[in-house]
Structure 1
């Protein structure tokens, strides 16, 4: 049996601000923006090429988590320098490329597996982006 992770709920304080950040600055696709009731709204966004989406929202339809409390979310890209340039070009406050340890599976590109950049969303939810150009 396959088990797939398809949704991660990201706690935010302002759904509209977060939607703008994830859609316009990160380039995530807005799958849907659903107003369930006067006090309940869900927005699902998916990174390009991903099988997993993030959901932001308000009201009783989302878990009670403090905005900005989610740490360690990770995206994977085949080219960390290109990802860095895209994020910076869209106004995301992203770190410079960092090498985290030694490459456990040496490849032609020394940044594979160990090249990272980091950023936070407007609430402080922390994201990493890792370079993996291919999986063995």
Structure 2
């Protein structure tokens, strides 16, 4: 039996592959599922989760994606080295303000995470 977390992860993978242009048949072959499963996963991507476990799994998958994207964005900014890039004063002020606001939001999320999961942040 497939767990709700595995279903949510598979649906996210199916959606990603479909957005990349893969056919249902290609997706099914790659994931080892039937074409009907792929079709159902794609048709239910916007459908509300029906059980608490499914909603929790969906939310966890969304959070995982968001954290991964935030980390990737932070790495991209670090590699771009905006502080060492020639920019006009207005652009420099905007970049600084946007980076500080994003850093404040991320710090608040890290603090909330530490509050909920103190053993994971020790």
Short-chain TM bin: under 0.3
Q: Which has the larger radius of gyration?
A: 2
More helix per residue: 1 or 2?
A: 2
TM-score normalised per structure 2: 0.28
Give the TM-score, by structure 1 length. 0.26
Q: Report which structure shows greater RCO (CA 8 Å, sep ≥6).
A: 1
